[in-house]
Amino acid sequence: MDQAITAVRKLNSKGLTASLDILGENVHDKATAERAVQGYENLLEDIHQAKVESNVSIKLTMTGLDIGDDYCVENVTRILEKARGRNNFVRIDMEGTPYTDRTLKVFLGLQKIFPNVGIVIQAYLHRSETDIDALIAAGARVRLCKGAYKEPPSLAIQKMSEIRKNYKKLAEKLLTQGVYPAIATHDDSLIRWTKQFAADHAISRDKFEFQMLYGIRTGTQESIVRDGYRMRIYVPFGTHWAPYFYRRLRERKENVWFVVTNLFRG
């Protein structure tokens, strides 16, 4: 955790904000879920004491969703209360499609009590436009990403050109109707499109932010900030990095290609 705070401080010095994520998922016992909740409470306190610019991201399966929805809500409530007391924000990550409906249900219930919570929508899912419309109506803060899990054609768009097309459609709705959307992508064509769309529609650069992964294309991240846009860096850390990393690479060949093509780019 100390190393994560140090990494955020360095990002802040370059004009970038962060979102810290303690790695872990699919917890099936309460003792492990409790440690995860306590870890996030400690992390929020450390962020506050260090006075760094960072929020946090959580996965519901790490906080007990596989144990039970009500139990998970109790745990996330603790994290949100801690974040609210420290004037911070919590982003609930989206996981694979078996969890989509349950994640949205938990989020929408918590959002009625906690304005400091946001959600993630994956552009490659066929259902995402309907979800985006509902979230906009609820005044939710949404991070839009392409999607990294392996999903069948019946649930998700498979061709990258079509995923990009849907991403733009969803981003257009979020940029014109949403609440401070996060455009999470390393795709140059989508970054260029977002900049041009915002300019064409007189959308101020402080009404949205770009998001990228820690250590991937740092030169581009800093260049976007120099151009006057906001950039938040997603910083996962912790002891469970190996299973998380290899699981993501095994799930979709596109994830391997993403790492290969972006790791050494500026």
**Residue 62, CA distances (Å) to 56, 133, 199 in order:** 14, 27, 39
pLDDT at residue number 238: 85
Give the pair of three-digit tokens for residue 212.
Answer: 């990228």
- What is the residue extent of each domain of the chain? 2-262
pLDDT at residue number 11: 98
136 vs 240: which has the higher pLDDT: 136
Give the pair of three-digit tokens for residue 134.
Answer: 């509902």
pLDDT at residue number 248: 56
Going by DSSP bridges, is the β-strand pair 141-145/117-122 parallel, antiparallel, or unpaired? parallel
d(CA 42, CA 50): 12
pLDDT digits (tens, 9 = 90+) for 193-214: 999 999 999 999 999 999 999 9
d(CA 147, CA 123): 6
pLDDT digits (tens, 9 = 90+) for 11-66: 999 999 999 999 988 899 999 999 999 999 999 999 999 999 999 999 999 999 99
- Annotated catalytic, 188? no
Cβ atoms < 10 Å from Cβ of 124: 23
| Range 144-159 average pLDDT | 95
pLDDT digits (tens, 9 = 90+) for 92-148: 999 999 999 999 999 999 999 999 999 999 999 999 999 999 999 999 999 999 998
Q: Amino acid identity of 60?
A: L
d(CA 217, CA 262): 6
User: Is residue 258 over pLDDT 80?
Assistant: no
d(CA 61, CA 53): 26
d(CA 184, CA 5): 22
d(CA 249, CA 255): 5
Q: What is the pTM of this model?
A: 0.91
Orientation angle between helical segments 69-85 and 100-111, nearest 10 degrees: 40
With a CB cutoff of 8 Å and minimum separation 6, the contacts of 132 are: 121, 142, 170, 173, 174, 178
User: Is residue 158 over pLDDT 60?
Assistant: yes
pLDDT at residue number 24: 86
Asked if residue 78 lies in contact with residue 114, where contact means CB atoms within 8 angstroms, the answer is: no
Cβ atoms < 10 Å from Cβ of 257: 11
Q: Amino acid identity of 255?
A: N
- Annotated catalytic, 192? no
Asked if residue 221 lies in contact with residue 233, where contact means CB atoms within 8 angstroms, the answer is: yes
pLDDT digits (tens, 9 = 90+) for 212-226: 999 889 999 999 999
The vertex-95 CA angle with 138 and 118, nearest 5°, equals 30
Q: What is the architecture, at CATH level 2, of domain 2-262?
A: Alpha-Beta Barrel (3.20)
Please identify which of the residues 143, 217, 230, 232 carries the catalytic annotation. 143
Please identify which of the residues 21, 66, 93, 131 carries the catalytic annotation. 93
pLDDT at residue number 244: 60
User: Is residue 255 over pLDDT 80?
Assistant: no
Which ranges of 1-68 does DSSP label H, i.e. alpha helix?
Answer: 2-13, 30-50
| Range 72-87 average pLDDT | 98
36 vs 246: which has the higher pLDDT: 36
